[in-house]
Chain A
Amino acid sequence: MKNEIFLRNLFQAFYQESQKDIPAVSMLDRREFGFLLWDNKFMQRHLGFAEIEDLRQFLIQKSPMHAYSSGSLYRQPDNDDMENKGYQGCDFVIDIDVDHFYTGCKNDHDLWYCKECGTNGRGMIEKCPNCEKLKITRVAWICENCLNIAKKEIIKLIDNFLIPDFAVNLDQINIAFSGHRGYHLKIEDPRIRTLTSDQRREIVDYLTGHNISFEILGLHEKASIFGLIKDNQGWSNKIMTKLEEILRMEPLEIEHFLRDPNWGDLNSARISSLLKYREEFLEVINSKQQNIWSIEGFGLTTWKKLLRAVVKKVGAEIDEPVSIDIHRLIRYPGTLHGKTGFKVQELDYDQLDEFNPLNESNELIDPIVFESKKQITQKLEITDLKVPATKIKGITYGDYEWGEKIEVPHHVAVFLLCKGVAKII
C-alpha cells in the first residue's frame, strides 16, 4: 500500500506540473475513456470528456495507474451500453509490442516461475519444462535491444507498407512510444474509419503476411516446381526481393538464418544444397525467361517452409487483435504507464530513428519523467525472487535477488516500484 500511495502521489505531481503538455487527441469529445486506478483492480470504462481541460483535471484528481482512450468515435462515449453508444467509426490502430514476438535478448532478461513446482528460468515459455503445468508467472523486462527491434518494426511498417502501398500521409499518422515494451501507431483517415473488423483483418494480413497462400502467388508443381516471380508486384515482389537479399549475404549468415528454428528451421542437407545451388537460383530469381525452382532436396513443402521464414522477415510484427477490434482502448498520449512510470511519448516520424526511450537525449521527448536533477536516491528492498538487470540512462542496475536492499536514483526506484518487484524501506 505504501508503494501505491508513493507512486500515486508522484503521478499526481507529474499531472499537476505537466497538465498543459497532455495533448488533446482529435475529436476528444467523441472518444471513450478508460482508467485503471491504484486501488481498483477493474478498469473504469465508458467515460467521456467534453474538453481537454476536463480530462486534465480528472488526471490530476485521480492520478490513475493507466489511462486509455478509444480508437473509436461514439455519439455518446459515456454510455455504458455498447449497443447504444452510437458507434461512428474507428481509427486504424497498430500496436507493436515485443511481448508478442521473439527477440533473442528475452533469454537474458525475461524470467518465469512455475507456481506449481517452483522451477524458474529465463526466456519465453508456454508451459513449465519440469512439471508441464501452465501455471506460469512471467516477468517481462525491457532492454534497449528489445525496444530497438520494436522501433525498427514500426519504421518498417511505415516505410515498406503504409506509405508505398496504402498511400498513407505522414500527417494522418500518430506515433507514440507506449511507455513500456513497444510503440502505438494510429491512422486517422475518415475513409479507414468506416471499415469493419473483417475488413481490418484483411489489412492486418497484408501488413503481416499472415494467411498468405504461396499457391495463389504462383508456387505450384507441374512436373517441375514453378515458383514466385520477382517481377510480379505486391507480396511476390516483397518476398523474392527479401529472399534475394538473404541469399546475397555471407554464407555463414545465410546458414544461421536457414538453421534457426525461429526462422528457416531447415536441416543441414537442405542448407548445404541451397548454398551449393545459390548462384544458379539467384539467376532464376532475376530471369524473365525461366521460373523452374530446382534445388536438390527441395520439394514444395521445403520451399513453403523457406518462404514462410522470408514472409516473417518481410511482414511487420503487429499485435493483430488490437487492429481488428473496433472497441479497443489504447493508452492516452502524454499519460504515465503504471508498470514503468514512463510517459506515453508522442513522436514525429523524423524523431523515430534517433529515439531511445531508455536514454533519450532530447528532453522534449524523453519518456523518463522522474529523473531527478538533484541526484535524489531512494532506498528499496527487492521483493521478487530475481530481478533482471536494467540499463537506464546509460547505467546498468541489477541483477537483484529477493531481500536485497538497494539505493538507486529516483527514476530507477519508480521503475522498480511500478514493476512491482521492490518496496520502499
Chain B
Amino acid sequence: MSISYELVKHYPWLPSKKIYYSEIAAKDPVEFIKEKIAEYPDGELVDRIFSIFKTAFENVEEIKTYKADELNVYLYTILKILLYINNSVPIANRVANLYAKHTYNKMIREDNDYNLYSICKDLKLNIQYYDKAVPFGLIIEKDRKQVLQTQFSIHYIDYLKLASNLRDDHRKLVHNVLNHGFVLIDKKELTRLLQEIVRKKLLIQEAKDISSLDDFKNKLLEIKEIRELNERILDVWELKKDEFGEPYVFKYSKGENVEESFPPCIVDILKKVDEGQNLTHIERLFLVFFLHALEIPIDEIVNFFAKLPDFDRKKTEYQVEFAKKKGYLPHSCSTLKSYSLCRADQYKDELCLEGYYSKKLESQKKIQHPLHYVRIMQYRKYRPKEEVQTKNKNEK
C-alpha cells in the first residue's frame, strides 16, 4: 500500500517518498543540492532550513516556516545532509527533538484519523484501524462517567520497540490493554510513538571515518549558498551553546570531584545530557534526587539542566527546589531496573555486577542503591594506604 502524494509532502520522512521522488536517491547529493538551490533562486529553501536550526536552538516547539509543499520534501533531505556533515550529536538532537515535536503537533491535528493509519502502514507498523471506535474501559468518578475507546491497536512487538524508549510509567505494557497480540492505543499515544520514530530518523551517530566525511563536506561547502547557510547555523549555535551550559564538573560540597564515583545509570544520563538529548520524566527525577543526595547546591543543579533541549530556568528552579523540600531519596537499583534505567550490563560495571566483599559480614554483598555505589567508590578512593597495600599483597 503506498501513501498519497499529499501526505508525503506533509511528512517527507515517510518511506513512500522514494516512490514519488525517486530522483532524489538516484542523484549525487552535491548535484541534487545544486539543482534545488537553482530551482529556488529566491532563497526560500535556504531560509526555511535556517529557520529550523534557529528554532531548534531557541527551544521553541513550532516551526513557523513549515509548509507542506514540494520544497518541504527537498528541504528534509538537505536538512539530514547538513546534520550529517556537521557531525555534532548535540545539534542533531536539538533539531531532531524540534522536528519530531512539530510533526507530533501536526499529526495530532489531523482531522482524518485514517491518515494516521496510512502513515503507520507506510512505516511498516503492524497496526489495526477500526471504522467504529472500540470501547475498552470506563472512568467513573462521582457523577462523571467516560467511556474509553479508540480506533487503533498496534502489535505488541512494535509497541514495545517504540514505547520502551520513552520509559514513561503509563506506557509500560502492564498498564495497557493487550488483546490477541495487539495493544489498544488512543490517537494521542499513537502519535507520540510516531514522534519518536521521526526523532530517531534525524539522529546521527558521530562519524568515525572523519576523512571521508571531510571530503564530502568540502565538496558540499563549495556551494556558496550551503557554505553561507552552514556558517550562519554554526554562528547561532556558538552563541546559544554557552547558554546551554558547559559540561558540569561534579563536586561534593566538601570540594572533591566525585564524578568518577558515579554508577553507570547516572553516567548514562549524564552522557545524554551532554549530547543535548531529551530526558524522560523518570530520568530527570532520578538525576535531581541523586544530585540532592550528594548535597550539590540548587543553583548548580539547575545549571546542569541548562543543557537540555527544553530547558526553562524558572520552571527548573521551582522543580529542583520542590524536590529538595520533599527530601526524596534517589531510586534504588531494583526500581531503576524496573524502569529499565539500570546500565550495569551495558557498561559491564564490575561493582554493579559482582558487588563487593564485606569484611564485616564476611560475604559478597550486592550493590542495591546508587548512593551505596558512590559510598563504596569513595571508600576505595580514600581508604588508608596500609589497607590498600595489605590487599595488594593478599591479591598476589
Contact = CB atoms under 8 A, between A and B. Distances in A.
Interface stretch (A18-26, A196-204, A258-266, A333-341): A196-204
B178 A206 contact: yes
Contacts of B361: 134
Interface in B125-172: 136-141, 145, 148, 155-157, 160-161, 163-164, 169-170, 172
B27 to A, nearest CB: 33
Contacts of A167: 180-182
Given A198-B164, A210-B338, A166 B175 contact: no
A235 B138 contact: no
B178 A291 contact: no
Contacts of B362: 133, 135
Contacts of A133: 362
Contact of A235 (B148, B174, B345): B174
B157 A232 contact: no
Nearest to B365: A134
A216 B175 contact: yes
A288 interface: yes
A231 B180 contact: no
A203 B160 contact: yes
Interface in A138-194: 164-167, 191-192, 194
Nearest to A191: B157
Contacts, number: 101
Contacts of B139: 218, 229
B210 interface: no
A232 B363 contact: no
B265 to A, nearest CB: 13
B149 to A, nearest CB: 11
A374 interface: no
Contacts of B156: 166
B125 to A, nearest CB: 12
B174 A206 contact: yes
Contacts of A232: 136-138, 148, 177
B184 interface: yes
A195 B157 contact: yes
A290 B164 contact: no
A202 B136 contact: no
B131 to A, nearest CB: 20
A378 B136 CA distance: 63
Nearest to B346: A197
B145 A289 contact: yes
Contacts of A191: 155, 157
Interface in A285-304: 288-291
A192 B181 CA distance: 12
A197 B156 CA distance: 15
Contacts of A195: 157, 160-161
A234 B178 contact: yes
A195 to B, nearest CB: 6
A116 to B, nearest CB: 9
Contacts of B180: 164-165, 167
B388 interface: no
B176 interface: yes
A289 B140 CA distance: 7
A319 B182 CA distance: 25
Interface string A211-240: 111001110001000100101111110000
A205 interface: yes
A154 to B, nearest CB: 20
Contacts of B178: 165-166, 206, 234
A231 B157 contact: no
Contacts of A291: 140-141
Given A165-B178, A232-B148, A233-B177, A202 B138 contact: no
Interface string A98-135: 00000000000000000000000000000000000111
Which secondary structure dominates where chain B touches chain A? mixed
Contacts of A211: 172, 174, 338
Contacts of A166: 156, 178, 181
A36 to B, nearest CB: 21
A227 B275 CA distance: 42
Contact of A209 (B137, B138, B174): B174
A111 to B, nearest CB: 21
A296 to B, nearest CB: 21
A218 B361 CA distance: 44
Interface in A51-77: none
B173 A205 contact: yes
A95 B170 CA distance: 27
A164 B181 CA distance: 8
Contacts of A202: 160, 163-164, 172-174, 340
Contacts of A198: 164, 340
Interface in B166-201: 169-170, 172-182, 184
A154 B261 CA distance: 43
Contacts of B176: 234
Task: Choose among B136, B140, B157, B161 the residue with the greatest number of A CB atoms under 10 Å from its CB.
Answer: B140
A290 B145 CA distance: 9
A197 B363 contact: no
Contact of B340 (A201, A222, A235, A236): A201
Contact of A212 (B145, B163, B175, B345): B175
Contacts of A197: 345
B140 A233 contact: no
Contact of B137 (A134, A196, A199, A229): A229
Nearest to A236: B137
Given A198-B340, A229-B137, A233-B136, A135 B363 contact: yes
B338 A134 contact: no
B179 A165 contact: yes
Contact of B172 (A205, A218, A288): A205
B161 to A, nearest CB: 7
B255 to A, nearest CB: 37
A203 B163 CA distance: 12
Contacts of A289: 140, 145
Given A166-B178, A212-B175, A199 B161 contact: yes
A226 B141 contact: yes
A125 B25 CA distance: 66
Interface string B356-395: 0000011100000000000000000000000000000000
Interface in B27-72: none
Contacts of B136: 232-234
Nearest to A229: B138
Contacts of A216: 169-170, 175
A51 to B, nearest CB: 32
Interface of A: 133-135, 164-167, 191-192, 194-199, 201-203, 205-206, 209-213, 216-218, 222, 226, 229, 231-236, 288-291
9 contacts: A164-B180, A165-B178, A165-B180, A201-B337, A213-B175, A217-B175, A234-B137, A234-B175, A289-B145
Given A167-B180, A202-B160, A216-B170, 19 more contacts: A164-B179, A164-B180, A165-B178, A166-B181, A191-B155, A199-B161, A202-B174, A205-B338, A212-B175, A213-B169, A216-B169, A226-B141, A229-B139, A231-B137, A233-B136, A233-B137, A234-B136, A289-B145, A291-B140
